Amino acid sequence: MSISTFFTRTLGFGSRRTTEDVQRAVLTFIDMHASATPEEIAKSMYFSEHYGTMLYEILQAAQILVNRDEILATDENGVAIDPIHGNSATILKRKA
């Protein structure tokens, strides 16, 4: 095992965010705002990250949350969709 791998695994240096981290961020943002778009989440919570990468990660995390029945994703017309097939205007909100 290399020194960098050791530090990454044991101390967290250089670690990347996990899908679970992004899921928590999505849920936190939705809880604070009632509903949100991936664009709003990316621009406010991940403003220092590359927008295209974050958009994909947020949509992927939202898909997992939809599959777990925790949130609802709709298009601009209110039709339920899978977030992974959505875009920056997909509306995410907590399920009632």
pLDDT digit string, tens, across residues 16-62: 789 999 999 999 999 999 999 999 999 999 999 999 999 999 999 99
pLDDT confidence of residue 96: 79
E strands present in 47-89: 71-74
List of residues 6+ apart from 38 with CB closer than 8 A: 55, 58, 59, 62, 83, 86, 87, 88, 90, 92
Domain spans, the chain = 17-94
Beta bridge mates, 73: 92
Alpha-carbon torsion (38, 39, 41, 46), positive or negative? positive
pLDDT confidence of residue 6: 56
Alpha-carbon torsion (56, 50, 79, 69), positive or negative? positive
Domain 17-94, what fold?
A: Arc Repressor Mutant, subunit A (1.10.10)
